[in-house]
Amino acid sequence: MSSTALPRVREVDVAPCVFCGILGGELEASIVLDEPEVLGFLDLHPWSTGHALLVPRRHAQHLDELTEAERASLIEAGNRVSRAMRDAGLADDVHFVINDGPRAAQTVPHAHLHVVPRSRHDRRRMLARLLTAMVPPLWKRSRDDLDRTAATLREALAQAPK
């Protein structure tokens, strides 16, 4: 038997990518960050108020399909958004989450970084969210609510030191 490693088998994506639809302007989103390499928008089913998704503009399902520069842009954008969450009073701390592939709970086949605001008193809410994670309608936010939060984060990003 050969010691050569087999290439990783990729999932075949037969459905259109939701994030590519947002990137192309075909689907609605509450935009937080719009940069040459990365687009940031609020999660429609957030774990907490301000939960942002940052996506590279080029479609790739897995992180290792991105260039080093694209990965660096994604993480740096996450750092700026997390700082804006703190500055806007939406977070004491922040979870950075990347689910890299379907068996890692990646539900949209496009690499993305979750930036999830956390506060010192949110343990019960986060536990309830975890226990009901498979019931998205319970956690869906209105577009008006998402747009207001996105505006707050855009303002905090604009006021951040460069």
Is 112 assigned a catalytic role? yes
Which of the residues 45, 59, 62, 112 is marked catalytic?
112
In this structure, are residues 129 and 138 in contact, taking their beta carbons and an 8 Å threshold? no
DSSP string, the chain: ---PPPPPPPPP--SPPHHHHHHTTSS---EEEE-SSEEEEE-SS-SSTT-EEEEESS--SSGGGS-HHHHHHHHHHHHHHHHHHHHTTS-SEEEEE---SGGGT--SSS--EEEEEE-TT-HHHHHHHHHTTT-GGGTPPPHHHHHHHHHHHHHHHHHS--
Token pair 């947002």 is at which residue?
22
Residues identified as active-site: 112
